[in-house]
Amino acid sequence: MDQIGDKSSGIDYAAMEQALADAEPLRLKALAATLNAVVGLCLTIVVMVQAASSSMVAWSLAVIPPMILLPVSMALWRSMAMSVMAPVAAAKWGQTDFVAGIAAVEWKDLLGLAGANRHGNAYAQWKSAGVYRDTHYRAREIRLTVKRERSMHFLTIEVRLEKSVGGIIEIASKAWGLGHLDNLFRALDGETQRKQLDPGFDAALDVFAPHHVDVTKVLTPELREALLTIYSQLQPRPFMARLDHGWLYMQLRIDGPSLSEASLWRPTRHYIDSAEQLWWELTVPHRMIDTIKGDHDGRLR
């Protein structure tokens, strides 16, 4: 993903190293429990199936437990490692809440009600929230699996704005992406219309809103300039945003899952190499808030 702002974090590395050292015994216990479970299940399957069938079938079925348990255990451990590192990485910048793994999954995701589910199965990998420069924000990493064949990862950013209007405003780059087509079809059905603001903004981004909504009340010149700045930093990737009851929603593509290097096989001291990238992903909302406020200088305050 294209970089937004300075990646120099100012993380308290002494505190991070201590947090990872404290988590090492947990990793060893989780690894031992996983290996014991895998070996125990494999032996149980071999004994039971061999007694009723043949050795070849028994040993063939014995590969099932590691194929299931190891990926699940790795994912659970990665979530635990993130929960250890995230507070140290982002609390300095106003993060007050962070959850990962099962705790981050929302019922609307499980029930297929999330917007991204129109194009695949989407689940939250982690969620964070906080207050930066007197502005509330929320963020999630979304894993979108398309037809069980490939996965994509997105950061969904939500920033509280000072102004609101009685309707949803959709903003999309001119690129012919799925979001752009959705907006175009809504405009064609008569419920929404494309709004014109100023030549510079209209040349880069399309705005769709219900007929009765005066988009200029919330899309002020300052906010339009901020959105153009964010859009320019993300090119050539598509830009999509939504203004909904005082919140600005944006979705950004990232290259892979956060803290993907975390593994039960790797000692926690090695995770320190991923601290900067984790910090950067957790604080994308902060740089966007700086941009919206109009005094973004590339480094968080």
**Through-space distance between the first and last CA atoms of the chain, rounded to whole angstroms:** 23
Does residue 114 carry a pLDDT above 90?
Answer: no
- How far apart, in whole angstroms, are the C-alpha atoms of residue 243 and residue 67? 43
**Tokens at 192, concatenated:** 């929404």
The separation between CA 219 and the C-alpha centre of its own chain, rounded to angstroms, equals 25
Which residues are bridge partners to 192 per DSSP? 210
Distance CA 100, CA 127 (A): 6
For 127-161, what is each residue's pLDDT tens digit? 999 999 999 999 999 887 766 556 788 888 999 99
* Per-residue pLDDT at 109 exceeds 80: no
More confident residue, 245 or 298: 245
Separation in Å, CA 232 to CA 4, 116, 205, 236 = 10, 24, 11, 8
Residue 206, strand partner residues: 172
Residue-level pLDDT at 160: 94
| % of the chain residues with pLDDT over 70 | 75
Which tokens go with 225?
Answer: 């300039």
Please compute the mean of the pLDDT values over residues 270-284 and round it to a whole number: 91
CB-CB neighbours of 296 under 10 Å? 19
Edge-to-edge strands, sheet with 135-146:
95-100, 121-132, 135-146, 150-160, 247-254, 240-244, 169-173, 205-210, 192-195
Classify burial at 99, counting beta carbons within 10 Å of its beta carbon; exposed 0-12, middle 13-18, buried 19 or more: middle
Contact 130, 86 (CB under 8 A): no
Q: Which residue has the tokens 């014109």?
A: 196
3-state SS, residue 139? strand
Q: What pLDDT, on the 0 to 100 scale, is given for residue 2?
A: 42
Question: Would you state the pLDDT for residue 292?
Answer: 87
**181, 172 Cβ separation under 8 angstroms:** no
Amino acid 126: pLDDT: 92
Q: What are the residue boundaries of the structural domains of the chain, listed by start?
A: 13-161+246-293
Assessment of whether the complete model's pTM goes beyond 0.85: no
Residue 266: the pLDDT is: 92
pLDDT grade, residue 231 (50/70/90)?
confident
Look at residue 22 in the predicted model and tell me its pLDDT. 95
CA distance readout (Å), 151 to 109, 112, 123, 275: 15, 17, 11, 23
Question: Average pLDDT in the 193-219 region?
Answer: 87
Q: What is the pLDDT of residues 5-64, one digit of tens each?
A: 444 567 889 999 999 999 999 999 999 998 888 777 777 766 666 655 666 655 566 667
Mean pLDDT value across residues 109-125: 57
Nearest to 80 by CA among 214, 271, 293: 271
Q: How do residues 176-199 score in pLDDT, each as one tens digit?
A: 444 455 555 555 555 778 888 888
The residues near 198 (Cβ < 8 Å, ≥ 6 apart) are 221, 224
Tokens standing for residue 153:
């990862």
Q: Would the pLDDT of 255 be above 90?
A: no
| Res 297 pLDDT > 70 | no
Query: Residue 172 pLDDT more than 90?
Result: no
Mean pLDDT across 257-272: 90
| pLDDT tier, 113 (very low <50, low <70, confident <90, very high otherwise) | very low
Return the closest-CA partner of residue 140 out of 245, 261, 282, 241.
Answer: 282
Report yes or no: 117 and 285 within 8 Å, Cβ to Cβ: no
Torsion of CA 217, 181, 257, 39, to 10 degrees: 140
